[in-house]
């Protein structure tokens, strides 16, 4: 082949020409094929490396008895480099070379995946507890029953440091005297970080002198306070991702439920919002009129409505028809001046109609 034809090939084209030459003439040494193509020393080295890296050629062991000799003959003195260059390479079929190359890549990737998996496991073990404390809200739900009161206090302390936007709290009764200072300290730290805090108490705490001062102190720190005739349970919610509440709402000393995940916490937040709307602002409890003219049957229907009982169940409980239930509830709404059943429930709670306190306010 002429030099002009060889020069026209560059890079991989030259390597391909050498490969085709070796396949066309079995037993040909690499340098012989390169000489026929008139490749320079630099070009032939580049081709040798490229074919070897692709697995299309493999060096033959010169110690093998059937290793072919080059054209210079066995009697010609040659150095180690000359002998290595004159060996006849093993020419590998393209499909075999491809399979070997893919196998090497697969093994390399498996090694990297194994190393990555080991690193992930180590990082999770070392950093997992720290990452979970400040993690963004997740869709999955985690629920844990906590029986240790000290663990509950630690969770509240950690929550103060990790909460980002808002904390919502319910108290069924007074805060213990020994806990008041800690609660005010949490309020200060949350206020410094711009966290919104809402707290709802039973209206009865207004008659306790120490609680009166404690509420005033919390309000001075920017806590939004409301008082309600009915507070269903103690509850702490945060960032739509954290909930702390009792397993038994009627037993404050029962084990505590610790829940994480918006899928569950948002349901508790909806209950909190309902109770918040039914409560009166601290220091601004309105005196609403209405409800005095309700009959016993209407009051019973109102209680069941506020408890979430469906009309069919109310009808069975009262021994009346569905039509009568609709009429009773319409009369209740009219008496309370409410435009909807929800508003009737809110007004009834404010008036104390749901806990037997009648229309007395400020108690």
Predicted confidence (pLDDT) per residue in 1-48, tens digit: 444 444 444 557 888 888 888 888 888 888 888 888 888 999 889 988
Q: Among 8-12, 228-232, 301-305, name the most confident range.
A: 301-305
Mean pLDDT for 319-324 is 86
Residues in the chain, total: 363
At residue 57, φ and ψ (nearest 5 deg) are -135, 155
Neighbours of 315 (CB within 10 A): 19
Q: Is the pLDDT of residue 349 over 50?
A: yes
Rounded Cα–Cα distance for residues 68 and 56 (Å): 19
Q: Is the pLDDT of residue 82 over 50?
A: no
Q: Do the beta carbons of residue 278 and residue 343 sit within 8 Å?
A: no
153 versus 362: the higher-pLDDT residue is 153
Rounded Cα–Cα distance for residues 340 and 192 (Å): 40
CA atoms within 13 A on the CB side of 139: 0
Question: What are the CB-based long-range contacts (under 8 Å, 24+) for 240-246?
Answer: 240/137, 240/265, 240/266, 240/269, 241/137, 241/138, 241/265, 242/159, 242/163, 243/268, 244/152, 244/155, 244/156, 244/159
Q: Which two tokens stand for residue 264?
A: 């569950």
| Residue position matching structure tokens 């808002």 | 166
pLDDT > 90: what percent of the chain? 8
Q: Is the pLDDT of residue 77 over 70?
A: no
Rounded Cα–Cα distance for residues 301 and 334 (Å): 14
209 versus 361: the higher-pLDDT residue is 209
CA 224-266-156 angle, 5° bins: 55
pLDDT at 303: 85
Q: Is the pLDDT of residue 198 over 70?
A: yes
pLDDT at 224: 93
Q: If you write DSSP's letter for every residue of 108-142 in order, what string do you get?
A: HHHHHHHHHHHHHHHHHHHHHHHHHHTPPP-SS-E
pLDDT at 130: 52
pLDDT at 345: 82
Q: Which two tokens stand for residue 28?
A: 């040909």
Query: In the beta sheet, which residues pair with residue 166?
Result: 196
Rounded Cα–Cα distance for residues 133 and 122 (Å): 18
- Reported confidence tier of residue 63, pLDDT bands at 50, 70, 90: low
- Reported confidence tier of residue 67, pLDDT bands at 50, 70, 90: very low
Q: Which two tokens stand for residue 138?
A: 């997740």
Mean pLDDT for all residues in the chain: 77
Q: Among 219-228, 293-302, 345-354, name the most confident range.
A: 219-228
Residues 6+ away with beta carbon under 8 Å from 248? 254
pLDDT at 291: 58
pLDDT at 362: 34
pLDDT at 127: 60
């Amino acid at each position: 082949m002429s030099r002009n034809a060889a020069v026209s090939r560059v890079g991989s084209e030259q390597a391909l020409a050498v490969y085709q030459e070796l396949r066309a003439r079995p037993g040909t040494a690499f340098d012989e094929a390169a000489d026929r193509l008139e490749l320079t020393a630099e070009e032939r080295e580049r081709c040798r490396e490229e074919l070897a890296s692709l697995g299309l050629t493999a060096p033959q062991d010169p110690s093998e008895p059937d290793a072919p000799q080059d054209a210079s003959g066995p009697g010609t003195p040659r150095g180690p480099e000359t002998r290595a260059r004159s060996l006849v390479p093993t020419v590998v079929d393209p499909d075999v070379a491809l399979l070997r190359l893919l196998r090497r890549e697969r093994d390399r990737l498996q090694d990297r995946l194994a190393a990555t998996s080991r690193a992930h496991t180590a990082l999770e073990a070392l950093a997992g507890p720290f990452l979970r404390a400040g993690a963004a809200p997740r869709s999955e739900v985690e629920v844990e029953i906590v029986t240790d009161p000290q663990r509950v206090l630690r969770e509240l302390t950690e929550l103060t440091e990790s909460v980002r936007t808002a904390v919502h709290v319910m108290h069924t009764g007074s805060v213990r005297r020994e806990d008041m200072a800690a609660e005010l300290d949490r309020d200060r730290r949350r206020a410094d970080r711009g966290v919104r805090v809402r707290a709802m108490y039973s209206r009865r705490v207004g008659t306790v002198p120490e609680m009166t001062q404690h509420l005033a102190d919390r309000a001075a720190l920017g806590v939004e306070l409301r008082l309600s005739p009915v507070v269903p349970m103690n509850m702490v919610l945060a960032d739509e991702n954290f909930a702390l509440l009792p397993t038994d709402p009627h037993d404050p000393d029962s084990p505590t439920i610790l829940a994480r995940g918006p899928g569950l916490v948002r349901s508790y937040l909806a209950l909190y919002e309902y109770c918040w709307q039914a409560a009166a602002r601290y220091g601004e409890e309105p005196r609403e009129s209405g409800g005095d003219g309700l009959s016993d049957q209407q009051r019973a229907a109102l209680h069941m409505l506020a408890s979430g009982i469906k009309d069919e169940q109310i009808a069975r409980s009262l021994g009346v028809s569905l039509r009568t239930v609709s009429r009773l509830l319409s009369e209740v709404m009219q008496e309370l001046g409410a435009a909807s059943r929800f508003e009737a429930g809110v007004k009834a709670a404010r008036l104390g109609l749901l806990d037997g306190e009648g229309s007395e306010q400020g108690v």
